[in-house]
Chains A and B, each alone.
Chain A
């Protein structure tokens, strides 16, 4: 029996079908959003008319928490302008267009990647070099949140990490991208783990994988056995949100991250398996983060696709067999934490872990009934909060009380809304309260600093 976290959790239908990874043909045009990550948007480093080659950096990181952007196709920069994001807003972006020759050339280079370092050289890299390399490759957390990885690897002064936790839980239903990566390229992940361990200066790593991925567990255990460093692969109980950072740390180490604290305050740094692989590929092949594996579900040809960042969602959906006529909602990410999009005529980003096409009858919300104080949401909350109370406080704008109830601890996993028998929009209100309280805390801090 696998280990798990201590509070709450739910068991949504898994709906996972193990699929191998299929390479999507490189598109002739990509639109690279400058803000694909958490933090400050990148700054365009090319201008209209410039020629770029696959893997070139087209936008540089701007500020401490930021990541640079690379183009997955060669061609000419046709636009450095605002373009549509999946959520309907306009945002700064760079558009690159390839011609026939570029396209053929890119496909060849994509298939035959040459190592730029030997394995021995990889072992010689020190922490600082690895962090700089990760930053140069524009690597962000590929689990979905897209937090710049090099920032997470820089352990704040005065703190010390003692364990690297590698997240292979993939607890969201439908998503199998991490599963596929773990099954098909465990050695690359292990290579990445070795580099990450050196980057955060730890001697021990734990990989957590949910038990519903037995092949991945076997493959990763085999790779761990012959990698030469202390890496343990631990099967985890199938329970959502097992892959939540704080939940995973508890499940694997028994340590609880204090309210408002970072994982590193209990000595842990968490990285996703796909991120580890990206780090390895960046180190060995000098390949920046310009492609990722995306799970597509709900189309005629669902599966895992290796997709260049910046490709139109509509193009990917076409490759995956098109969308059914009675589509109600399209979600980026998992069904629990993903966000519904407003348009498919927008590009994929580094954080797009899945594209789920949900039918109208499954997408619509049920009629909201009054709260019967059954406490199901309290039992389900993995953070030990009281969602029924916090949502009511937020609804009536009692933000001081909501702050006392630790609304800012909410990880927005949606377990409360999922279990509510009255179909109340608990998370909607909690999220609203959380955003407002976070803003008020920021204002308060600013006032203090001004004084």
Chain B
């Protein structure tokens, strides 16, 4: 009986001393955190993708609460609606960001760009890129091992097995740019989503001369400048055998798509043309 009593008393005393210590420490080292930081953070996706330029969602929320205006603070992952709610919570004006999206600048599908050699190393684009030009021998195109897929925190990019190329899921992509950073060949570009998702872009990254590009890939940009010639908005420049469309200047007329001899210029989300229907 006595043993139990002593045990209880000793443990009880330790408990009391510990509680007192904790109380003192809690009072002395108390830091006040604005409760709004937690509220703002709960409105964010919580993916810590870093697309806002901060080290994570908590850091972004802290910056929002501390800021006088939300002008330079935009979370591409949360979208406009969530940014408006954050602005309302903080009594500030939300800045409207142009929605961004990842676009794959390679059209070298298995059919268009036959595989000439076999790579049997580890399935990592960065590893394959280091040993050679890749299975198709295009030194600029997508390697298809999926470094972008593992970099995406929104499950928005996947490799299409039929083409061997990554496909971006528009409903999920936030334009955070993690895939573009992960790509060792910079095949993925982050650009504006375009009105109702309508975009025109060059699905090729090859800066090799046209003759060589044609040899390795039927869908590559050969730098023929036809698109630049037909563009009436001065939106296309051809530099180093590769056409680049400026999304700011492009008026979505699609004349370039029509003249491209290799089909390297791609469009998305355009309504079906009447002339196409009648055929």
Contact = CB atoms under 8 A, between A and B. Distances in A.
**A, B: real partners:** yes
Interface of A: 82, 87-90, 339-343, 364-365, 425, 428-429, 431-432, 435-436
Interface in B119-140: 120-122, 124, 126-127, 130-134, 137, 139
- Residue in A88, A89, A343, A429 whose Cβ sees the most chain B Cβ within 10 Å: A88
Contact of B131 (A340, A343, A365, A436): A340
A417 B227 CA distance: 50
Given A342-B116, A428-B122, A82 B208 contact: yes
Contacts of B131: 87, 339-340
Interface in B220-244: none
Contacts of A428: 121-122, 127
Contacts of B208: 82, 90
A429 B122 contact: yes
Given A90-B212, A341-B132, A342-B116, 8 more contacts: A82-B208, A82-B209, A88-B117, A88-B133, A90-B139, A364-B120, A365-B120, A432-B126
Given A82-B208, A88-B133, A365-B120, A435 B139 contact: no
B136 to A, nearest CB: 9
Interface string B241-260: 00000000000000000000
B148 to A, nearest CB: 14
Contacts of B127: 428-429, 431-432
Contacts of A343: 117, 137
A87 B133 contact: yes
A339 B131 CA distance: 7
Contacts of A435: 126, 130
Contact of B132 (A342, A431, A432): A342
A377 B215 CA distance: 43
B208 to A, nearest CB: 5
Contacts of B120: 364-365
Contact of B134 (A88, A364, A365): A88
A362 B265 CA distance: 43
Contacts of A88: 117, 132-134, 137, 139
A89 B209 CA distance: 12
A366 to B, nearest CB: 11
A89 B126 contact: no
A432 B122 contact: yes
Interface residues of B, number: 18
Given A82-B209, A342-B137, A343-B137, A89 B132 contact: yes
A428 B127 CA distance: 7
B14 to A, nearest CB: 38
A216 B212 CA distance: 46
B110 to A, nearest CB: 17
- Residue in B116, B132, B209, B212 whose Cβ sees the most chain A Cβ within 10 Å: B132
Contacts of A364: 120
B20 to A, nearest CB: 40
Contacts of A431: 127, 130
Nearest to A341: B132
Contacts of B116: 342
Contacts of A425: 121-122
Contacts of A365: 120
Given A343-B137, A364-B120, A428-B121, A87 B126 contact: no
B144 to A, nearest CB: 15
B213 to A, nearest CB: 10
Interface in B99-129: 116-117, 120-122, 124, 126-127
A381 to B, nearest CB: 19
A313 to B, nearest CB: 14
7 contacts: A87-B132, A87-B133, A88-B139, A342-B116, A428-B127, A432-B124, A432-B127
Contacts of B132: 87-89, 339-342
Contacts of B134: 88
Nearest to A432: B127
B133 A89 contact: yes
A391 to B, nearest CB: 9
Contacts of B137: 88, 342-343
A364 B212 CA distance: 30
- Residue in B120, B122, B126, B133 whose Cβ sees the most chain A Cβ within 10 Å: B122
A3 to B, nearest CB: 34
A149 B40 CA distance: 60
A435 B124 CA distance: 13
Nearest to A339: B131
